[in-house]
Every structure is written in structure tokens, then in C-alpha cells.
Structure 1
Amino acid sequence: MNSTNEQAYAKVVENGVQAVEAVKELQITGYLADQIFVLAHEKDRTDRIADTADAKEIGIKEEGVFDSLANLFRSRGDELRAKIVSMGFTEAEADFYESELDKGKVLVIAKKKD
């Protein structure tokens, strides 16, 4: 499932190699490095893929201070869903994407600045 709205685009890929390819494709289409985010279920995997792909992780700037602090007390699944919602997706979309991350897949998100 891919989702496109005025604010964000998301693509679920099978692994880190495909995530790097998706990031490169987005850069070719005009997205800047600071507009492309990757998300995996495990934080260290997210870090590695973001570094390799020259993409960002969803952080305080995207989430806001309150959600970022709240994530310290959330389960990983709840944290991931909150991060996805902070990028402009609905709760239902966040549930779907988080379930895909549970399966070991990677989510690539591109979002133009507001």
C-alpha cells in the first residue's frame, strides 16, 4: 500500500536495500534529503538505513516536543504509530504501516515542508 496526500508520500519496501533505492528515486524526483525519512521496527535498523540512504529519522522537529517525550513511555508499536501520524497520516494508515514494520519491512516517507 502506498499513500499519497498533499503533505506526505509513503512506500513500504521489503528491506534496507530497497529502502535505499526508494530514497534515491525520491531524490531524483526532486525531494531533498531533509524531506525523506525511513522507519523500521528496530531503532538501530532505522539508524543504519537512514545513514546508508542519506535520509532522516522522524524526530522532535517532525513530532513535536510533547509526542517526542511521550514516546519515551510508549511501546515501540505505539511509538511508531505516533511517528507515522506526526507525518500527516491517519490512525488507520499508521496501524497498517506499523503492522508492515512488524513483518520486517521498511517504510520510506517523503514530506514537503509546510
Structure 2
Amino acid sequence: MTVKLTVENAVQAKQEIEKLETQGYSKDHIHIFAHFKERADDINDALDTSDVGIMEQGFLQSMKNMFTSRGDELRNKMEAAGLTKQEAAAAEEELDKGKLIIIAHNKKT
């Protein structure tokens, strides 16, 4: 099951990640998205979560993202993490407003 949450800042993100972990989600499958790459990288590093990478997207999509706009890259990564095209587009609009998106998938059983 894929869970998408919208938060205002890293403090709220930390609280939500702790809740997700108690629900059985691994930090390897929890991703934080921010409009600016540096902000997303800093928060992922601080909270020990991971960026969506080759494992989720596949090699070709990962390479393609190097040459697309940040918006396209974010939508592609959110889709790879489990959102539909429409959900990813709506989530990207939230990112444009300065919010953070948390996506968790592959709950441990």
C-alpha cells in the first residue's frame, strides 16, 4: 500500500515518519519530496530516508530525469514511488507552494 502525506516542514515530516515506522514502513521505502533538490536532499539526509532511485524508477527513467525539468523529474519519481499520474501532478502543485510530500510504500508484513 502506498501512503502520501503533505506536511509544512521537516519537524512535521519527522513526526509523520515516526508514525509510519510504527505502522511497519521501512525508512528505505519512505521518500520525502521538496520542490528544491537541495532541500529534499538535506531533509532525506537528516531523517535517514531515501530518494527515489534506480531501484524504483529503473535505469532508463533515471537517466531521462537528468535531462528533464524539475517538475517532470518530481512527477516521474512520485509515480515510481506509487502515485498515479493525477496524484503526482496534484502533489507537485503542493510542492510548488513550499510544502513537503512524504510517500511510503512496500509496508513490511
- Using structure 1 for the length normalisation, give the TM-score: 0.88
The residue number in structure 1 matching 2:22 is 28
Correspondence for 2:96: 102
Q: Give aligned-pair identity as a percent.
A: 45
Query: Residues of 1 paired with 2:24 and 2:79: CA distance?
Result: 23
1:72 aligned to 2:72? no
- Out of 13, 20, 32, the residue aligned to residue 19 of structure 1 is 13
- Equivalent in the alignment of 1:60: 54
Q: Deviations over 1:55-81 (max 9, x none)?
A: 111111111111101101110001000
Q: CA RMSD, aligned part only?
A: 1.1
Give 4+ residue runs of structure 1 displaced > 3 Å after superposition: none
Gaps of 5+ in 1: 1-5
- Report how many aligned residue pairs link the two structures: 107
Which letter does structure 1 place at the counterpart of 2:43?
I
User: Any conservation in 2 of the 1:81–1:95 contact (CA below 8 Å)?
Assistant: yes
Relative to the length of structure 2, the TM-score reads 0.92
